[in-house]
Amino acid sequence: MHKKERVAWIHEKLETLYPEVPVPLDHKDAYTLLIAVLLSAQCTDVRVNQITPHLFLQADNPYDMVKLDVEQIREIIRPCGLSPAKSKAIHRLSEIIIEEHQGLVPESFEALELLPGVGHKTASVVMSQAFGHPAFPVDTHIHRLAYRWKLSAAKNVEETERDLKRLFPMSSWNRLHLQIIFFGRQYCPARGHNPEQCPICSVLGCRMK
């Protein structure tokens, strides 16, 4: 298959396998999604979804969050890992949202990426999943599969994001990044991957383990 054909085939295959793409992180609005995504750094979505109900029971909005001190937040989110840095970021970004954005999560990449603990990937998730703006959040799993499927030879997630945005229509980005994540978890893991049993790698002839 030529690259254009491979891109179209992968897109169609993912649409067939994952016609519905629920957001993996439990949330009720942009603020709770932002906090959940921040907590997901180097932590599984399953673990985050176990922890956030305890946190959001006490504070599911920035006004209540700033009433907690950093140590209280840290104790609740400890199982997610990196709790010292994450708790400080959650408290401070909540203050900034109140002070500079009238208590609402800002609806722009620039403003989101200025918040403590919020990088481009986190901002992209919030922009796409909370606000519906076209974005293509690329994590290490998408980066790995893009390389494995010969969609990108980029050395980092930023370059992979640019490559994937060029290959796939903008209208597909918000669904597609989730479809790739779901596929990677189910069929195409980093370790113990059997290309011959993978619905995509077996057709494309991928041999990378």
Q: Which residue numbers are catalytic?
A: 121, 139
- Cα–Cα distance, 66 to 98 (Å, whole number): 9
Q: Which pair of tokens denotes residue 50?
A: 């176990």
Q: What kind and span of H or E run contains 104?
A: none
- Cα–Cα distance, 207 to 201 (Å, whole number): 8
CA 164 to chain centre: 15
Q: With H, G, I as helix, E, B as strand and everything else as coil, classify residue 63.
A: helix
Cβ atoms 160, 168 nearer than 8 A: no
